[in-house]
Structure 1
Amino acid sequence: MRSELLRFDDWTNPVPPVEREVVSMTEETDAKLPPLLFVPGLGHGAWAFAEHWMPAAAARGFAAYALTPRPGGDLRAQAHDVVQVAASLPRQTVLVGHGAGALVVAYAMGRYPARAAVLAAPVMDGWPALGAALRVNPLGTLPALFGGRLRLHRKQLFGPDMPGERADEIIARLDARPRRELVTHGPAPRPAGNPPVLVVGSPDDRVVPRTSLDRTAARYGGAPLLFPGMGHELLLEAAWAEPIAAILDWLGKELET
């Protein structure tokens, strides 16, 4: 993995400024704990974390923030936004990314020395995810190959315990338009400061194959923490409380070291 604290592009082709949408939950939090910055995945906004995981983190004393990806922003611009928001927070920040947002976090870690990072159901290599989407939902996936909207269905995103009506409500809020760079990007840079990194996912995820979870976790020196029976949407699943509780428990142990 390569380090990218300074890049020539930053001087010759700076990322355009944008008004960022950041949702925060900071009341009655412990000032000694690092803030958490949640980065949503493809088609999601800050609302996806504000549903469950942000309140759960705030209840454990963590100041919680979530950043909505800039419209039409490429990977470099999205990572830039994460770095800028993290650097503006009062303490060294924990970065938490879901899906393609985990890829953004991986790139941001090359520029920002995070306190720790969590990659949830990470889409780090778009080719396996694309192959899985074509197998499970070919008609909904093909338009996205030509710049259209990725039309998802509940079997791709949720486990069998998720109520159908609730799953459809969430899917209706998604506006997933994949960029080509999800499959053409280079390797993520080496994290600045060597933070601890936790990879969480499900062996039953129909977006991210188990082999991808293993490969990503090994890249950061560990093994994935798995939640069988859940789908890709760990943060919105019926059993959403299990992954965030485990993440916060892991983070508590890391902060003690």
Structure 2
Amino acid sequence: MSEILRFQDWSDPVPAGDREVVSRLPEDDDGSRPPLLFVPGMGHDGWAFAEHWLAHAASRGFPAHAVTPRADGDLRAQAHDVVQTAAALPRQTVLIGHGTGGRVVARALGRYPARAAVLVAPVLDGWAALGSALRGNPAGTVPALWGGRLRFSARQLFGPALPAEEATAHLKRIGARPRAELFGRDTLPAPVGDPPTLVVGSPDDRVVRRPALDKAAARYGGAPLLFPGMGHYLMLETSWQEPIDAILDWLQKQLPAY
């Protein structure tokens, strides 16, 4: 698969595109922690990580960056943007993708030798995610099947502990017209260098259900790390600190000699 991807990049290269990077750096970066590159999914940009997770990771000594791949790009172009951004960082990088950003990271892992990877509520199976969306929010989902805007609901994306006013504010910034390829299933490449990979999610997620989390984790040889009571957007929940601390703790155990 990697050879096929390399040939395609040579024969049909991804054109240059704009991408936005938001960064939060430790006050004293001694080089003992790898950079983290967060990749948002469909409907939101780097701001979703900048709300809480970037600064918190930096406070624990990790240089933290969030890249927003080109909005009009397909999955191949977005994975290219992630690889290019990671390669420009000073040290071998940890890739962290949320939602469909997890699918972008899974593709990027076939081209970039990441130090480690974390897939947060990853949408690796578009059909399963579409089925969940149609069951949970048919009125907001059906228009997207015909090129319209995908309209999410607070109940669909967030846990019950998040105050209604915060959920409403986030919803105003979330939304997208999904590409048709997101509704299908992808043949994902094997990761280059076999990096340790963690799948994180919630058993109460209404977008990525528990069976999808189990399947994603099994693909990378493990079990999902679960946070009950939270929704799809773990990084925006009231208890946002729990999953990011667990991710950083896992990284410190996996990379003790970094």
The TM-score, its normalising length taken from structure 1, stands at 0.97
State the identity %. Answer: 67
Deviates more, 1:66-75 or 1:210-219: 66-75
The answer as to whether partners of 1:203 and 1:226 remain within 8 angstroms in 2 is yes
Q: Which residue of 1 aligns with 2:128?
A: 128
Give, in whole Å, the separation in 2 of the partners of 1:4 and 1:89.
24
The answer as to whether partners of 1:4 and 1:110 remain within 8 angstroms in 2 is no
Give, in whole Å, the separation in 2 of the partners of 1:150 and 1:144.
5
What does the per-residue CA deviation read over 1:151-197, in whole Å, with 9 as the maximum and x for residues that have no partner? 00100000110101100100100132211111224221000000000
The answer as to whether partners of 2:26 and 2:62 remain within 8 angstroms in 1 is no
Q: Which consecutive aligned stretches of 4+ in structure 1 deviate over 6 angstroms post-superposition?
A: none
Q: Which residue of 1 aligns with 2:159?
A: 159
Name the SS of the counterpart of 1:82 in structure 2: helix
Q: Which residue of 2 aligns with 1:38?
A: 38
What does the per-residue CA deviation read over 1:66-111, in whole Å, with 9 as the maximum and x for residues that have no partner? 0012121100000000000000000000000000000000000000
The TM-score, its normalising length taken from structure 2, stands at 0.96
Q: Compute the displacement of 1:33 (Å).
A: 1.1
In structure 1, stretches of 5+ residues that fail to align are none
Q: Which residue of 1 aligns with 2:204?
A: 204
Name the SS of the counterpart of 2:155 in structure 1: helix
Q: Compute the displacement of 1:32 (Å).
A: 2.0
User: Which amino acid counterpart does residue 8 of structure 1 have in structure 2?
Assistant: F
User: Which amino acid counterpart does residue 52 of structure 2 have in structure 1?
Assistant: H
Give, in whole Å, the separation in 1 of the partners of 2:139 and 2:60.
42
Name the SS of the counterpart of 1:107 in structure 2: helix
Give, in whole Å, the separation in 2 of the partners of 1:65 and 1:249.
18
The count of corresponding residues between Structure 1 and Structure 2 is 256
Q: Which residue of 2 aligns with 1:191?
A: 191
Q: Which residue of 2 aligns with 1:20?
A: 19
The answer as to whether partners of 1:201 and 1:234 remain within 8 angstroms in 2 is yes
Q: How does 1:130-145 map to 2 (within 5 A)?
A: 130-145=130-145
Check 1:197–1:238 CA distance in 2 against 1; reply closer, same or farther (3 A cut): same
Q: Which residue of 2 aligns with 1:82?
A: 82
In structure 2, stretches of 5+ residues that fail to align are none
